[in-house]
Amino acid sequence: MINAKDKLFKLKSYVFIMARKASGGKYKKLRKKKLFERFGQSRIVKLGNPKKKKIRCMGGKIKTVLLTTNFANLLDLKTRKCKKASIKNVIETPANKFLARQNILIKGAIIETEFGNAKITNRPSQEACVNAVLIEEK
């Protein structure tokens, strides 16, 4: 007799853990992963000449993603104005210090622009632009 706890463990083992039964036997997968459940290729947005790519999503929707860029939509909180600024360099990334060395743009990265330092507020790998907010110098 299988109880609810065993069923939950079976589901967890299918998704994350390759565990074994108490008898030592292996759990068998119920099915393969479907195409929409599989991981896609990771997109890394680098600093360089603007380059975009169109990807077909579920339901036939077309998503435009960014591969390289050297411009950002910059918001100045003092004046409440938005302007297009060129990105000079990636100064720091809180997620991983090695990403800053490779000039990879991710959410939370601090970039150097022509108007001063700014923090990226969106996920450039998911969208077709880079949005940033100016950081006040202390």
The model's pTM:
0.72
Domains of the chain in sequence order: 4-31 (no CATH), 46-134 (3.10.290.70)
What pLDDT, on a 0 to 100 scale, did the predictor assign at position 13?
Answer: 46
**Contact call for residues 93 and 120 (beta carbons, < 8 A):** no
84 burial (CB, 10 Å; 0-12 / 13-18 / 19+) is: exposed
* Closest among 99, 36, 44, 89 to 68, alpha carbons compared: 44
C-alpha dist (Å) from residue 22 to 9, 14, 19, 26: 12, 16, 10, 9
Q: List, run by run, the mean pLDDT of 10-residue segments along the chain (138 residues).
A: 55 57 88 83 90 89 92 93 94 92 95 95 92 86
Q: What angle do CA 76, 102, 55 make, to 5 degrees?
A: 75
What pLDDT, on a 0 to 100 scale, did the predictor assign at position 11?
Answer: 52
What pLDDT, on a 0 to 100 scale, did the predictor assign at position 58?
Answer: 82
CA atoms within 13 A of residue 33's CA, in its CB half-sphere: 9
What pLDDT, on a 0 to 100 scale, did the predictor assign at position 15?
Answer: 46
User: How do strand 62-69 and strand 46-47 relate by DSSP bridges?
Assistant: parallel
What pLDDT, on a 0 to 100 scale, did the predictor assign at position 5?
Answer: 55
